Structure 1
């Protein structure tokens, strides 16, 4: 396999976030209202930066941080941009009233690490997905969940575009919920990809979802069987015989194209409707475990750090920087292409 060594972690000349986490970064998420960026890390911390634009230049200012007792795996914002939720290996979710300067409080508990968290404004509830094989829905003013949904296996990934929620678990299960009736599975699908699911992203129009696997492949899946002819899979994050995990799928909030990021250290922009790659970026010197667009799609943030996919024996602390970068996408990179009469697969 390719060795990353001390290779360039910023070949795309992206803006670097100051004072990054001291260990691998597990999630990043932007405020839905302003350019505040949250990152969670294996160093047990949740950090916030304010990003300011000066023409085409970006400046990042560390604003605040909170601690968990163990590594933090996931993060989400409340829709009003005031509050952050974070969960992880201490089996709890903390609610941090960031903008008011308040102290974090525990608002959710599981019996195993919490891998995913999502605020659902249409329900005024927090959804949490755990390796204890459940999803729980929480009214943050109450200590017990309003509903606990059993899953067939450990929750690995979750994406919500109300009323659509897609959950990827171990054993390649993809469970689809209609949140207007959240206590019943709407559909259970075996992943169209042959290997373990790493990430999912619900379409902005709620008509389907993307799924990415450890085997450098993405599936585009429509929920309506009448649209099944539009389903396809494609390869990405591969280099000759080396195959890398697809770690992150993010839809652009305006153009509805999407970004993939992978353990090969690359991020790419794609248009599912014309089945084209819009832009391939240079490979960074370490894997990209997570990426996210800001609320208007003018910034794509991505973390570059060791992702432990090759185990502790391949972790070289001397070379392992933990970086968060900010890329300013050009229109040509993220704007969809007109559909040709008949486009083949990529």
Structure 2
């Protein structure tokens, strides 16, 4: 017997534009009448949605080239979500009971064009794994870095959603040594013991500089960089780069998560002479330029998960009312891996 639908649903709205990093006080959980799907639309009951740092950039005002709209005061937040179709309008190819992914998270129910939903197949053993950011790490490593057996790979922001998978993927692709960076000693220990990092850089007021730590961890230099941070992490990586090093720039957390910036820029000083003389390549990876990666990653990720060759570090935060706090905790670096809000099944 089909479960009766509620008359109302809740969503997270930005109520005031923040100065600096947004906090829970800038958001509100708002109740709305449950919408009815029209032609070509479906109503999806969300089960999980992703909490991701890119929201800071969208709230601050998306810069040129970002394929997502700006979030203004009064707007509902959005982002990747996994859910179940509970209503379908005329001419919809999807039907109630179908599991799908879409981009209208941050709400309990989403009215989505069926064409904007992707059916969840059996490639991944856990629906939450569809919210992994690993496709960015996999795409950057396979399209830009051409990992060779024995390469030394550095992953910055290694305890984040992308970084926690990048090091594991690099190892599976043949890397000889994998080094990470994180600002948390506790996370550094988990990276070594749980994810197999050979060493982890932990910058701090009483620690050696990132450059000195990296020179100790990789005295012969690094061959590959997967950079999710930018800033002084990228500067240190350039100092340690070997001839022909390949750098894939995936994120810019140094700017995104800085309370002193607008979240849409991350300037860094680069030694151009070193880049030229050593033939270092730096390329920015964007998933929209490599649409074929999504399915390829899902197939390989699913196989690796089932065989136990890879793990998917993530934390599930229960309840939509905790979503604003979960975003603040993400900005503060409290969690390890991917952060997901989990909603009740009924």
Q: Which has the larger radius of gyration?
A: 2
- Name the TM-score, length of structure 2 as normaliser: 0.28
Larger RCO, structures 1/2 (Cα 8 Å, 6+ apart): 2
- Name the TM-score, length of structure 1 as normaliser: 0.28
Which structure is higher in helix share? Answer: 2
